Structures are given as structure tokens and as C-alpha cells.
Amino acid sequence: MSGSRPTREDYYRVLAEALPTGTLVVTALGNASYLWAAVRDAPENFYVEDAMGLALPLALGLAVAQPERKVVVVEGDGGLLMHMGGLVTVGAVAPANLTVLLIQNGVHAASGGQALTSAALDLASLGRAAGLRRAENVGSAKAFRPALAAALEGPGPWLLALDTAPDLEVVVPPVAFDPVVTKRRFMEGIGAPRYVPTIFGGGRLAEP
């Protein structure tokens, strides 16, 4: 742990230990994905690249499409503020299998560490106002452990806003980040049929 605030890695170590088998994990751009790949790379991980604020909408779609699986999404406070509609939609759809982990470090870490316009915003209160079943602010890895266990036991959706020290130094992931490879590996990991697009629109599912 660095200083008085826990690091992203502190939380990730707890998450890696607690995840049930088969859980789908969606991580936002930058160190949210790079560090998670270093801690626990798996076919069931979907690493979002260069799409700030879109990890949550993607995870929502997965939670609806895969209701028998647990889905965990790691989004940043800056990404959430860019796409508040995603949180409101989560509250409206209310998937019981979705847990939202918000890295609340007060900066846009992936773009250089610029301070958020509302760094002190109470994100748990925001989640409750959006209609999520449970939303809590978490200030330490020790407090995260029981909160995460409760969230994974369900029902959700849950939001845990994790107070985190900024990590501006880029982590080098152990695997190459190619969006096409990530997509194909993830689809194979969840047993989804491959979609074959056509030049003029439409498409079809590949034969098994």
C-alpha cells in the first residue's frame, strides 16, 4: 500500500482471490486493463482499449446476455462522468449479476493525470440515486474484502466506489493488447458463436 490511500493493485489482489470460477471481468482503458492482465489474465477478461467510459455499457450488455454468470466491471471515476447514462441504465435494467467497481482516484489517469472537475463527488450516493440496489464507498483493501464478498453473493446490481491513489506510471501488461484477439479470445471463453459480417451489412453466425 502506498501512503494513506490503497493502490489499484491492492484492490486487484483482493478481487483476484475472491472471483468465482467463470466470472466475466470487463476492465476500462489504461492501467485498469494493463494491471488486471498482469494480476489475473484469463479468457473471461475483456480489456477495453481506447474507449473511455464504455466499459460499463459493455458489462451491462454482458450481464443481460449472460444472466447465469457473475459480471464484474472496473471503471474509472473519469470514465463514469463521461457517460453517466450508462449508470442510469444499469439502475433501470437492474441486472442481479452485475458488480460495478469504480476506481475513485480523482484524476483522468489514462490521459496524463488531469484532475476531475468534481473529484470529491460521492459516487456511492450517485449510484443509489441512479437506482442501483446497493452502493458503498470503500476506503481500504481490508474493507473491500467483505464488501466484494457481499456483492458477489448478490443480488445486484452493486456499486463499490474504491478510494484509490492515482497510478500514472503505465503498467506493461504480460500479453499483447490487440482488440481483435481480445474479442475472439473472449468469445471463445464464454462459448459465443463467431459472427461473420458481410460487406453490405447483415451477417450470420458461423457454423459450429
Q: What does each of the 208 residues of the chain score in pLDDT, given as a tens digit?
A: 445 899 999 999 999 999 999 999 999 988 899 999 999 999 999 999 878 889 999 999 999 999 999 999 999 888 888 888 999 999 999 999 999 999 988 766 666 666 667 767 899 999 999 999 899 999 999 999 999 999 999 899 999 999 988 887 878 888 888 888 999 899 999 888 877 777 776 777 766 5
- Here the cell at position 152 is 458477489
From the number of C-beta atoms within 10 Å of its C-beta (0-12, 13-18, 19+), residue 131 rates as: middle
DSSP string over 17-44: HHPPTT-EEEE-STHHHHHHHHHH--TT
Q: List the Cα angle 93/94/95 in 5-degree steps.
A: 100
Contact between residue 146 and residue 158 where contact means Cβ atoms under 8 Å apart: no
pTM for the full model?
0.88
For residues 81 and 27, what is the distance between their CA atoms, to the nearest angstrom?
16
Domain ranges in the chain? Answer: 8-205
Considering the segment(s) 8-205 as one domain, its CATH architecture is 3-Layer(aba) Sandwich (3.40)
